[in-house]
């Protein structure tokens, strides 16, 4: 358990009876780069923003489509048209007492002590600088919240059948489902690389299922570091869990009311299994490596066909509430949808970006980026 945190953080130690592997799973994905063929090479995307936007949204959209299919199969009682799907990326900063409270709940001081106890922080999978360097200073703590709407949530009994387990705890063995996109279980690469200190938390809400009776919400947090020794020289594989221990000493997510209470401590809005729009997941990334501009550009690159298809009921929004960000009390959040227009959508299209003003659904005037598509020569070969 992490000292000083009101929630239970547990470091996984090396155990002779188990196969041990370094928790620095981010190194598995350091070779992941977003290809920029042809004209895209003139203004390439930031890798972290592109990977997070591509993989996280793909996983959310897959879950939403699965949820829609389940609702359609159930027949009576469901809405005639699907509830609009949305993924909202919100960059923000915490200061003062809110910052101190978040640092306490997420166990950042414990992480800082461990960094100080190793000779080279790179052995933990960390960069040269991150938020752990300034915990004793009065500097804001950057955060990223990724919130789904009407995505179905990560259901399944805890273990290999749990979507939450697959999302945060399983590497390279997630079964691919026909009709799904993504990278066969490597979608978590975007989440891990999206946090400079490799710390990700997930609060998910889903309808009750027969194979997992009585459970509709779960919350789990993970830190993914390289193997190291703690201050007492105990060997740790580098994985840290925000979880409770069961009777056998195994880590399990917080469930139902306990998950809601943990979400309250983390400043996350509660979700209700009785509201179909609330079925989905909220991710919290500490010290994000992505930028609002990088996320917007990645959304334009990867998701404009779905955003343009009104029948899909698909939306992505990016809100930057950090100092110097694109969102403010007067301008409001920077939002998508992005619109693409072409008289002949079956032909290859050349796209250019323009900016225009629009009123967002959050009630304030916001700059909206649009893709104006015209027929022309192909950009992809």
Task: List, in sequence order, the alpha helices (H) in the chain.
Answer: 47-74, 96-105, 108-117, 163-168, 188-193, 256-265, 292-308
What confidence score (pLDDT) does residue 170 get? 80
End-to-end CA distance of the chain: 53
Give the number of other CB atoms < 10 A from CB of residue 325: 19
Domain ranges of the chain: 9-74+81-290, 302-381
What's the chain's length in residues?
381
Closest alpha carbon to 90 in 356, 321, 377: 321
> C-alpha angle with apex 48: 218 to 53, nearest 5 degrees?
60
Secondary structure (DSSP) of 322-349: STTSS--TTT---B-------S-TTS-E
Q: What is the pLDDT of residue 359?
A: 30
In the structure encoding, which two tokens stand for residue 307, read together? Answer: 């955003």
68 Cβ contact partners less than 8 Å away, ≥ 6 residues apart = 82
Please report which confidence band the pLDDT of residue 244 belongs to, taking 50, 70 and 90 as the band edges.
Answer: very high
SS3 track for 152-206: CCCCCCCCCCCHHHHHHCCCCCCCCCCCCCCCCCCCHHHHHHCECCCEEEEEEEC
Q: Show the tokens assigned to 275.
A: 């509201």
SS3 content of the chain, % helix, strand, coil (to 5): 30, 25, 45
Beta bridge pairs of residue 20: none
Reply yes or no on whether the pLDDT at 357 is more than 70. Answer: no
Residue 288 token pair: 């994000």
pLDDT score of 118 more than 70: yes
DSSP string, 305-316: HHHH-GGG-EEE
Model confidence pLDDT, tens digit, residues 79-106: 567 889 999 999 999 999 999 999 999 9
- Encode pLDDT of 266-286 as tens digits: 999 999 999 999 999 999 999
Q: Could you tell me if 83 and 315 are in contact, meaning their C-beta atoms sit under 8 angstroms apart?
A: no
Tell me which residue of 97, 60, 25 sits closest to 204, measured CA to CA.
60
Whether residue 151 is predicted with pLDDT greater than 90 in this model: the reply is yes
Spatial distance between the Cα atoms of 353 and 366, rounded to a whole number of angstroms: 16
Q: What is the pTM of this model?
A: 0.81
Stated as kind and residue range, the H or E segment containing 218 is strand 217-224
High-pLDDT (> 70) share of the chain, %: 70
The band of 375, judged by pLDDT with boundaries at 50, 70 and 90, is: very low
Give the pLDDT confidence of 27-74 residue by residue, as tens digits.
555 555 666 666 666 678 988 999 999 999 999 999 999 988 888 777
Q: Which residue has tokens 């880590």?
A: 251
């Amino acid at each position: 358990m992490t000292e000083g945190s009101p929630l239970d953080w547990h470091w996984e130690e090396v155990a002779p009876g188990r196969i041990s592997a370094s928790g620095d799973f981010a190194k598995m994905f350091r070779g992941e780069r977003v290809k920029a063929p042809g004209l895209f090479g003139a203004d390439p995307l930031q890798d972290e923003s592109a990977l997070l936007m591509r993989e996280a949204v793909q996983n959310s959209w897959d879950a939403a489509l699965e949820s829609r299919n389940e609702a359609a199969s159930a027949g009576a009682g469901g809405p005639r048209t699907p509830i609009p799907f949305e993924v909202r990326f919100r960059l923000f900063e915490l200061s003062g007492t809110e910052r101190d409270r978040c640092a306490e709940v997420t166990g950042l001081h414990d992480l800082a002590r461990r960094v100080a106890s190793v000779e080279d922080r790179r052995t933990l999978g960390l960069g040269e600088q991150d938020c752990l360097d300034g915990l004793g200073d009065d500097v804001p703590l950057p955060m990223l919240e990724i919130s789904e709407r009407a995505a179905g949530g990560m259901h399944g009994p805890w273990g290999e059948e749990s979507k939450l387990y697959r999302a945060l705890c399983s590497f390279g063995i997630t079964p691919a489902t026909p009709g799904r996109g993504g990278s066969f279980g490597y979608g978590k690469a975007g989440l891990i690389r999206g946090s400079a200190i490799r710390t990700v938390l997930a609060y998910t809400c889903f309808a009750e299922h027969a194979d997992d009776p009585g459970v509709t919400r779960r919350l789990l947090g993970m830190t993914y570091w390289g193997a190291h020794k703690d201050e007492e020289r105990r060997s740790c594989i580098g994985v840290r869990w925000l979880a409770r221990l069961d009777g056998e000493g195994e880590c399990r997510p917080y469930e139902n009311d306990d998950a809601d209470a943990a979400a309250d401590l983390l400043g996350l809005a509660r979700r209700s299994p009785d509201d179909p729009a609330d079925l989905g997941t909220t991710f919290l990334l500490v010290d994000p490596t992505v930028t609002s501009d990088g996320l917007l550009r990645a959304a334009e690159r990867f998701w404009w066909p779905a955003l343009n298809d009104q029948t899909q009921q698909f939306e992505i929004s990016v809100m930057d509430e950090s100092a110097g960000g694109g969102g403010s009390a007067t301008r409001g959040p920077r939002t998508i949808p992005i619109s693409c227009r072409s008289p002949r959508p079956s032909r290859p299209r050349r796209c250019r970006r323009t900016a225009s003003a629009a009123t967002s659904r959050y009630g304030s005037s916001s700059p909206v980026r649009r893709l104006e598509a015209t027929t022309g020569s192909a950009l992809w070969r």
